Amino acid sequence: MNARPWRSVLYVPGDKPRALEKARTLGADAVILDLEDAVAPEHKEAARENVRSALGARWPGPVLVRVNGLGSEWEHADRETALRAGVDGLVLPKVEDPRTVRDLHLRVPLWAMIETPLGVLRAPEIAAVPGVAGLLVGANDLARALRTRPHPERAPLLAALSAVVLAARAHGKLPLDAVYNDVRDPAGFTRECEQGRSLGFAGKTVIHPDQIGPANLAFGVTGPQAEDARALLDAWQQARAQGKSVVAHQGALIEQMHADEAQELLGLWEATQGGVG
């Protein structure tokens, strides 16, 4: 069972050709070529051309494009550029209404950004749309809309973060955690990655190459963890061969749920050892 990892998803501004070129070599599990917030209005057209060129190159993992929002003057040109160039998915900003996503019919995976209070409240309906592959948290806009104050543990946002994870997991979609703004604070970034993993996020969106390695580690599987998973599966398979439904392993009782979790961990381990990330 090989599940593609989404431990680190790197945003790259579409108006930075050198950054787009370098992004292919940085080891992120996926990349988002950004045409929205990271690109000033006067640079939108040039950014589209850069993205078109970048999508023609070979990438080691999925390449998504964050387009400008519905109703903006750039939305149609952004989508046409990405679709014609062969994108692996589109990131839609500030999604609040599941009907707008359902009506797109673009035949590529859609990733909905949850960045507003209404988006959080409607996250279950958005995640339920068949074309949606995952939900991404936009914490900066969300914090502003909620009028929260900065907090090192994201306490004011925890309810919203958990709501996004719950909505995504309930519908079999991937939840991706928000970016960490201070690229000069690796310790804070690592703490937030660990928090995101504990909350149930599949990975983290990142904005700097130095954040990729820590995100891959936090949302990945270590060698010892893989060995523990193999040992648990061996004990479980032996127990099942003996007709048992529960077995003691390393001082704990395990059942089918634990075996499924171990298999999932091994799938992620195998995927990351195969050169994906």
58 is in an annotated binding site: no
Task: Please tell me the distance from the alpha carbon of residue 140 to that of residue 19, in angstroms, as a whole number.
Answer: 23
For residue 176, give the nearest of 200, 195, 156, 159 by alpha carbon: 200
141 is in an annotated binding site: yes
DSSP H/E element including 271: helix 256-273
Token code pair at residue 145:
């809309």
Which 3 state secondary structure label does DSSP give 113? Answer: strand
For residue 158, which of 192, 187, 128, 189 has the smallest C-alpha distance? 192
Q: Of 53, 74, 78, which Cα lies nearest the Cα of 65?
A: 78
Binding residues: 66, 115, 141
Binding residues for substrate: 66, 115
Binding residues for Mg(2+): 115, 141
